[in-house]
Structures are given as C-alpha cells and as structure tokens.
C-alpha cells in the first residue's frame, strides 16, 4: 500500500516538476524528513495530505514518456526500422499540437575529426527531421543542432560507448 | 606511400619544470627522439642591479627552449670550466675541451626601478666568431618574453630556421561531467606557461582559429544549444557574433589577410557546405554546393585557394577549390579517411587526420611529391596545426580518457608531449609569429 502510494506521488511530482532523475528516498525508511532538497522539496514528506490521489498514466499519455533517444549504426545516418512507431508517435504529438516544438540534437562517437563529426551528427538529426516532416510535423516545429562528439553520453573509448554516443536526442523545448 | 618505417627511440621520460611557476597545467615531456642533438652551453647570465639576484632567470628559459626544440643538448652548469658573462672573459679552449659547438653568454643590467637591459651573445666555438649579439630593454613583466625572443634569435642563427619559442598555442579544455562539464578556451606559451583563459562555458567550445595578426581568435560556441561563430579580441575580451544562422555554423578559419573567414554552414536542411564570410560587409558567399558533408575549410597561404574535407566520394577526403569558385579538385587518395587539412605556412605540405590501419593519426602530405608521412603514433590523434616556421606540428592525442597535446617535427623525428593535469585538452592551434 505504502509503496504504491509512493509511486503515485512520484508520478504526480514528475508531471508537476519533472522529478525524473532525482534519487528517490528508500520506501523502507519511514522517516518523513528524509527528503531530497530537489524538485520534491515543497511536498510534505511521504504523507500526501493536500495532494489528492495520483493516477497511473497510459504509455503515450505525455511526450515525456516517449523514448527520446535514437541510436545509429557506425558511420550511418539511416534510421533503423524499429524506430518507426516511436517516430510516428512524436510526429503525431507535433501534428496534434501546433504549439509544440522540438530540438533534434545529433551526436557522433569520438573517432575521427571533430568538425567532420559535427557533420555526421547533423545528418542524423536531419534523418529524424525528414521522417517527422513526412509524418505530419511542420518545419517550423523542428530545429536541429549537432554537437558532434562534444557531448558524449558515455565516456569510454570502446564499442559500447561509441554505440551510446551515435544518437539523436529529441528535446521538447516548450 | 613509401614505407616510412620510423624507428622510435624511447628515451627516459624527462620532466622539465619551470623555475618560478607556482603551478603549470601543462608540462613538457620528451617522448620520442631520433637524431643528433648539438651540444651547446648556455652560461648562467650575469647580474648587475640593486638586489642580490636577478628578478628572472633568463638563461634558464633559453636553456629549456633550446632543449625542447629537440635539436640541442645544453650541457649542465656543473660541468662548465668557466662562467663568463662578457666576451673578454671567454676562453674558447675551456669550451673546446667540453666539445660544445656553441657557447651563449649574457647578462641582465638594472638601469631603473623596473627597467632592465638584457644582453646576450652566441659564439661558434670552432671558428671563435660571434654568431649573434643583441641587447633588449625589459621590465619584470616582459622578462619571459624577452628570454623567449633571445632563444628564437639564437635558434635561428644556429639552425637557419626561425624559432617559435615566443609563439602561443590556443586550445580547448573540458572538465567535469554532465551538467557540471566546463569548457575553457585557453591561450598559453608553447612551453605551457602564461596560461590565459579566453572564454569559459558550460556548453561546448570548438574550433579556435587565430587571426593572422594574432590579436583575435575565432571559435564556435554552443551557448543556448545553438552553434554560433564568434571573433574575440584577446586584449579587450570583446567578442562579435559573426555567424549564427539556423543549423550548423562551424569550422572557422581566417584568410591570410585577416579580412575573411572560411566557415561551414548547414542551414535548415543540414547540408554542410563551405562559405566565405567577409568580416567587413558580413556577406557570405557560397563556395561549395554538394549534398555531401563539406567542412573544415582552411586557406592556402597565398590566399587563392581553400582546402577542405568532403565525403563526396564516400568517405572523407581532402579537396581544394579556388576562392573564386570552380570545381573542387581531390587532393588525397591514399586510405579511406583523410580529414581536417591544415597547410604549412610555406605552402608545401598539408597536415591532416589519416586513418592508418585502424588508428587515427596525423599525416603530413607533401604537395610536391604527394608522399604521405605518418608523424604520430596514437590511436585517436586529431586537430593538427603547423608552427609558423612550418617546422613542427601540434595536435591532440589521448592519454587514458583525457586528451593531451603533442608536438612533432614535420619530419616525424622528434616528438614531445605537453602533459596535463587539467582534464581533457583538445584542438590546439599554433599562433602566428609574434609581432616585435
């Protein structure tokens, strides 16, 4: 009972303030003062007095629930087929809400020349952009930027890290 | 390519420390050396002033500069049979015994509260003739520069090649991870001293480029999650936003007359092409029009053509195009990856990033005989930049997870590392000659 209420509380807080990423207190310790000083600081401990009941969300209820990172094969900017549904959903979000805007951030792995990698990252952003435009988003809703190898998601010099770094991140900017 | 099998002779790691430096983020470590070093003697300079010792150790800087050049082996002070500071006291027999080729003497004379005169003379031990003698005014604040200048003059007299000890290097450092990552654009002397922060940001900084008068740096900043090219005046710190179009604004490089930048623009459609930006009129003129990635433009020293990277043939290769337009001509043919070209100031060679059997290394392409010489031995070497005397190249390599800088002679025979205690260092660019 207590655990499910915690999850509900977190989901509400996630919607209200985007608490994703903060460490949640261990539900096993019932000390109400052991709160993170981050996004949940204005809640009153684990008692959800005054908050009302939370609700569970459908899978695509909010764009924040969609996968926001798309990965690419080595030296490739073509989209893998298994991203088709995901990108269709993002395109629908944009088509259904003309005020909605995204920024596509293209990235490359660290190998090779830096400015050339900016080019590779941009080609990946553009591959995503083209598909979203075909699927109903309008050009004014999408901006692109390429960080090349400058903002790595993983810092190792190995294939595992390279795979995590060859990516496009979708950022909803409003 | 000819089979350039360079035999690297590893000498013990040598740490050079610099007197008077409270701390240095970079330190010089000689990593590889093949070839003969000429033995020379730099005699401790004399001092005439109202304090017990000179305010700055000029001869130490000269000694370290000559040592770092890779061409000289200064003998230790303890082995000297005499320590003359003027010509009249110099006995060539004492130096012939030590088998030194040249002896350098000098002194610092105080003539005012913060006014000094620095003089030096270099002599050929065999002919017993003066090679060069010079006197310069100095203050405590200019002593280091005066010492580097003296080393430059001596080096040129002894080798016939202008010295680059008085030049600067600009580079980018990155520290921390995630939201705490901090990028810094730094200018320092080539020995790592005199570090000066030009710009600091939590967003990436890329592609610094010197103006030909060395008063300005162009660079790319991602402040606000968009790529923007700035030109910043070093002395004042003022900067001008020169290119902030939609999409990519990248890879700036000054024209030899300093009036234009070659840049890469991507636009909304993200097709990277080479443009020339006139800094006075702010007009862009498009130089390439190709759906491939065209980027990393750089000017030939004569200002008439631009070399750049393009993957129009499949993988990245170096191309050349006239500034007035025309057809791009392919320059590199060897291997599947040649990128980021930078020309030697004498226009004879191109330094580039070459994929060499799985490793990204620095190659030097001779434009006359088309030979490609691999001069680095790392796995992810990048961003080569020629010294203004065309004799050395600085580039970035890896040491564990961090980037560090290395300098290599253009013939690949002498290499040294600028070690780091300051995070990830990348994108070194060698300044033009200083103005005297």
Reported pTM: 0.83
Does B11 score more than 70 pLDDT?
no
Q: Do A137 and A91 meet the contact criterion of CB atoms below 8 Å apart? A: yes
What is residue A47's predicted lDDT score, i.e. its pLDDT? 47
Q: What is the CATH number of the domain that holds B114?
A: 3.40.50.10070
* Residue B10 covered by a domain: no
Residues A120 and A89 in one domain: yes
Tally of CB atoms within 10 A around A80:
11
Chain A residues with CB-CB distance to B355 below 8 A: 112
- Among A56, A77, A97, where does a domain finish? A56
Residues B353 and B389 in one domain: yes
What is residue B12's predicted lDDT score, i.e. its pLDDT? 26
More confident residue, B151 or A16: B151
Residues B202 and B136 in one domain: no
Give the pLDDT mean for B323-331. Answer: 94
Residues B260 and B402 in one domain: yes
Tally of CB atoms within 10 A around B89:
12
* Residue B296 covered by a domain: yes
Best-predicted range by mean pLDDT (A55-64, B174-183, B414-423):
B174-183
Residue with tokens 């090649």: B161
Residues A90 and A25 in one domain: no
* Residue B107 covered by a domain: yes
Interacting residues of A77 by C-beta distance below 8 A, sequence separation 6+: A120, A123, A124, A126, A127
B72-74 vs B38-42, strand pairing mode: parallel
Q: Tell me the nearest-neighbour CA distance from B14 into chain A, angstroms.
A: 28
**d(Cα A32, Cα A29) in Å, to the nearest integer?**
8
Chain A residues with CB-CB distance to B296 below 8 A: 113, 115-116
Q: What is the CATH number of the domain that holds A129?
A: 3.30.1330.60
Q: Do A85 and A60 meet the contact criterion of CB atoms below 8 Å apart? A: no
Give the pLDDT mean for B268-275. Answer: 96
Report the alpha-carbon angle B97-B100-B105, nearest 5: 105
Say yes or no for a CB contact (<8 Å) between A116 and B270. Answer: no
Does A57 score more than 80 pLDDT?
no
User: Residue B102 burial by CB count (10 A; 0-12/13-18/19+): exposed, middle or buried?
Assistant: buried
Q: Do A89 and A76 meet the contact criterion of CB atoms below 8 Å apart? A: no
Chain B residues with CB-CB distance to A158 below 8 A: none
Question: What H or E segment, with its residue span, contains residue B308?
Answer: strand B305-310
What are the angstrom distances between the C-alpha of B231 and each of B121, B167, B279, B295? Answer: 41, 20, 10, 19
Say yes or no for a CB contact (<8 Å) between A119 and B222. Answer: no
Say yes or no for a CB contact (<8 Å) between A110 and B251. Answer: no
Confidence of residue B176 (pLDDT cuts 50, 70, 90): confident
Confidence of residue B3 (pLDDT cuts 50, 70, 90): very low
Q: Which of A11-25, A119-133, B232-246, B342-356 has the lowest mean pLDDT?
A: A11-25
Residues B358 and B378 in one domain: yes
Give the pLDDT mean for B422-435. Answer: 90
Per DSSP, the three-state class of B152 is helix
**Number of folded domains that form chain A:** 2
Per DSSP, the three-state class of A53 is coil
- Among B131, B159, B187, where does a domain finish? B159
Residues B150 and B173 in one domain: no
More confident residue, B23 or A172: A172
What is residue A48's predicted lDDT score, i.e. its pLDDT? 46
Q: Do B249 and B258 meet the contact criterion of CB atoms below 8 Å apart? A: no
Q: Do B362 and B408 meet the contact criterion of CB atoms below 8 Å apart? A: yes
Q: What confidence tens digit (pLDDT) does each residue in A23-37 have?
A: 333 333 333 333 343
Contacts A–B by Cβ distance under 8 A: 101
Interacting residues of B125 by C-beta distance below 8 A, sequence separation 6+: B92, B95, B96, B100, B101, B102, B103
Q: Do B250 and B264 meet the contact criterion of CB atoms below 8 Å apart? A: yes
What is residue B105's predicted lDDT score, i.e. its pLDDT? 97
Confidence of residue B400 (pLDDT cuts 50, 70, 90): confident
Nearest CB to A116: which of B177, B296, B380?
B296
Does A14 score more than 70 pLDDT?
no
What b/e string do you get for B357-379 counting C-beta neighbours within 10 Å, with b at 16 or more?
eeebbbbbbebeeeebbbbbbbe
Beta strands in B126-279 (DSSP E): 129-138, 168-175, 182-189, 196-201, 205-210, 216-221, 228-233, 239-243, 249-254, 260-265, 273-278
Residue with tokens 């087929």: A81
Spatial CA neighbour of A139 closest among A149, A129, A154, A153: A129
* Nearest residue on chain B to A111, alpha-carbon basis: B380
- Taking an 8 Å Cβ-Cβ cutoff, which residues of chain B contact chain A? 177, 204, 206-207, 222, 225-227, 246-248, 250-251, 264, 266, 268-270, 272, 293, 295-296, 309, 311, 316, 337, 339-340, 353, 355, 360, 379-380, 382-383, 398, 401, 426-427
What is residue B184's predicted lDDT score, i.e. its pLDDT? 95
Q: Tell me the nearest-neighbour CA distance from A145 into chain B, angstroms.
A: 6
Per DSSP, the three-state class of B358 is coil
Residue-range definition of the domain harbouring residue A21: 1-56
Would you give the distance in Å from CA B240 to the centre of its chain? 25
Confidence of residue B436 (pLDDT cuts 50, 70, 90): low
Nearest CB to A118: which of B248, B311, B426?
B248
Chain A residues with CB-CB distance to B266 below 8 A: 119, 122, 144, 146
Residues A160 and A109 in one domain: yes
Residue-range definition of the domain harbouring residue B126: 37-159
More confident residue, A63 or B239: B239
Q: Tell me the nearest-neighbour CA distance from A106 into chain B, angstroms.
A: 11
- Which A-chain residues 37-76 have CB contacts (< 8 A) with chain B? none
Helix (H) and strand (E) counts in chain A: 4, 4
What is residue B147's predicted lDDT score, i.e. its pLDDT? 97
What is residue B291's predicted lDDT score, i.e. its pLDDT? 94
**d(Cα B263, Cα B256) in Å, to the nearest integer?**
14
How confident is the prediction for chain B on average, in pLDDT?
90
Q: Do B81 and B99 meet the contact criterion of CB atoms below 8 Å apart? A: no
What is residue B401's predicted lDDT score, i.e. its pLDDT? 81
Residues B150 and B178 in one domain: no
Chain B residues with CB-CB distance to A129 below 8 A: 270
CA atoms within 13 A on the CB side of B154: 35
**d(Cα B154, Cα A149) in Å, to the nearest integer?**
42
Q: What one-character DSSP code corresponds to residue B390?
A: S
Residues B324 and B230 in one domain: yes
Residues B418 and B350 in one domain: yes
Q: Tell me the nearest-neighbour CA distance from A51 into chain B, angstroms.
A: 31
Say yes or no for a CB contact (<8 Å) between B206 and A110. Answer: no
Residues A23 and A81 in one domain: no
Residues B110 and B87 in one domain: yes
**d(Cα A108, Cα B102) in Å, to the nearest integer?**
52
**d(Cα B37, Cα B74) in Å, to the nearest integer?**
9
| A126 close to B (CB below 8 A) | yes
More confident residue, A27 or B368: B368
**d(Cα B435, Cα B429) in Å, to the nearest integer?**
18
Strand order in the sheet with B182-189: B196-201, B182-189, B168-175, B424-430
Which of B185, B202, B243, B248 is most worth mutating to test chain A (most A CB atoms within 10 A of its CB)?
B248
| A139 close to B (CB below 8 A) | yes
Q: What confidence tens digit (pLDDT) does each residue in B135-150 have?
A: 999 999 999 999 999 9
**d(Cα B190, Cα B212) in Å, to the nearest integer?**
17
Q: What confidence tens digit (pLDDT) does each residue in A121-140 have?
A: 999 999 999 999 999 999 99
What are the angstrom distances between the C-alpha of B49 and each of A164, B108, B117, B121? Answer: 63, 8, 10, 20
* Nearest residue on chain B to A155, alpha-carbon basis: B401
- Among A34, A56, A78, where does a domain finish? A56
CA atoms within 13 A on the CB side of B293: 29
Which of A116, A137, A149 is most worth mutating to test chain B (most B CB atoms within 10 A of its CB)?
A116
What are the angstrom distances between the C-alpha of B153 and each of A14, A119, B86, B162? Answer: 67, 43, 18, 7
What is residue B32's predicted lDDT score, i.e. its pLDDT? 53
Q: What confidence tens digit (pLDDT) does each residue in B179-192 have?
A: 789 999 999 999 88
Q: What is the CATH number of the domain that holds B340?
A: 2.120.10.30
More confident residue, B194 or B29: B194
**d(Cα B1, Cα B361) in Å, to the nearest integer?**
15
Q: What confidence tens digit (pLDDT) does each residue in B19-51 have?
A: 223 333 455 555 555 567 899 999 999 999 999
Does B371 score more than 70 pLDDT?
yes
* Residue B83 covered by a domain: yes
Give the pLDDT mean for B56-74. Answer: 94
Q: Do B373 and B412 meet the contact criterion of CB atoms below 8 Å apart? A: yes
Give the pLDDT mean for B59-66. Answer: 96
Q: Do B340 and B384 meet the contact criterion of CB atoms below 8 Å apart? A: yes
Confidence of residue B130 (pLDDT cuts 50, 70, 90): very high
Confidence of residue B353 (pLDDT cuts 50, 70, 90): very high
Does A13 score more than 60 pLDDT?
no
* Residue B243 covered by a domain: yes
Does A101 score more than 80 pLDDT?
yes
């Amino acid at each position: 009972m207590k655990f499910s209420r915690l999850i509900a509380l977190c989901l509400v807080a996630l919607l209200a303030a985007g608490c994703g990423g903060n460490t949640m207190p261990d539900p096993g310790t019932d000390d109400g003062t052991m709160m993170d000083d981050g996004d949940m600081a204005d809640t009153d401990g684990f008692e959800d007095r005054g908050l009302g009941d939370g609700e569970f969300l459908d899978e695509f209820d909010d764009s924040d629930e969609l996968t926001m990172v798309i990965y690419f094969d080595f030296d490739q900017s073509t989209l893998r087929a298994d991203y088709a549904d995901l990108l269709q959903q993002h395109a629908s979000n944009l088509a259904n809400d003309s005020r909605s805007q995204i920024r596509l951030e293209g990235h490359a792995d660290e190998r090779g020349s830096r400015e050339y990698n900016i080019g590779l990252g941009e080609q990946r952003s553009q591959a995503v952009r083209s598909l979203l435009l075909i699927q109903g988003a309008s050009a004014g809703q999408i901006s692109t930027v390429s960080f090349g190898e400058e903002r790595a998601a993983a810092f190792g010099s190995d294939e595992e890290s390279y795979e995590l770094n060859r990516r496009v991140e979708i950022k909803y900017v409003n | 390519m000819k089979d350039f099998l360079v035999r690297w002779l590893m000498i013990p790691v040598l740490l050079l420390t610099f007197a008077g430096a409270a701390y240095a983020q970079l330190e010089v470590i000689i990593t590889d050396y093949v070839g003969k070093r000429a033995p020379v003697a730099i005699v401790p300079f004399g001092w005439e002033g109202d304090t017990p010792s000179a305010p700055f150790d000029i001869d130490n800087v000269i000694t370290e500069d000559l040592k770092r050049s890779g061409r000289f082996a200064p003998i230790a002070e303890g082995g000297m049979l005499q320590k003359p500071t003027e010509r009249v006291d110099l006995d060539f027999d004492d130096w012939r015994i030590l088998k030194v080729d040249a002896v350098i003497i000098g002194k610092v004379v105080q003539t005012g509260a913060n006014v000094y005169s620095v003089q030096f003379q270099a002599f050929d031990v065999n002919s017993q003739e003066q090679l060069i003698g010079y006197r310069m005014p100095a203050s405590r604040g200019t002593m280091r520069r005066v010492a580097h200048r003296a080393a430059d003059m001596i080096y040129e007299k002894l080798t016939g090649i202008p010295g680059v000890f008085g030049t600067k290097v600009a580079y980018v450092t990155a520290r921390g991870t995630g939201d705490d990552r901090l990028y810094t654009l730094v200018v320092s002397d080539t020995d790592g001293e005199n570090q000066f922060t030009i710009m600091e940001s939590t967003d990436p900084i890329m592609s610094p480029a010197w103006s030909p008068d060395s008063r300005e740096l162009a660079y790319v900043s991602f402040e606000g999650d968009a790529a923007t090219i700035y030109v910043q005046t070093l002395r004042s710190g003022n900067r001008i936003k020169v290119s902030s179009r939609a999409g990519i604004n990248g890879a700036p490089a000054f024209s030899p007359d300093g009036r234009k930048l070659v840049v890469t623009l991507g636009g909304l459609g993200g097709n990277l092409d080479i443009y020339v930006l006139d800094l006075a009129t702010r007009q862009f003129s498009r130089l390439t029009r190709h759906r491939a990635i065209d980027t990393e433009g750089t000017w030939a020293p004569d200002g008439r053509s631009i070399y750049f990277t393009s993957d129009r043939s499949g993988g990245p290769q170096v191309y050349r195009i006239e500034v007035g337009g025309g057809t791009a001509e392919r320059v590199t043919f060897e291997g599947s990856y040649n990128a980021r070209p930078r020309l030697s100031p004498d226009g004879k060679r191109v330094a580039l990033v070459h994929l060499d059997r799985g490793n990204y290394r620095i190659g030097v392409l001779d434009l006359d005989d088309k030979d490609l010489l691999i001069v680095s031995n790392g796995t992810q070497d990048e961003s080569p930049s020629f010294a203004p005397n065309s004799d050395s190249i600085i580039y970035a390599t890896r040491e564990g997870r961090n980037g560090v800088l290395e300098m290599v002679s253009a013939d690949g025979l002498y290499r040294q590392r600028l070690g780091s205690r300051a995070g990830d260092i990348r994108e070194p660019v060698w300044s033009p000659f200083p103005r005297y």
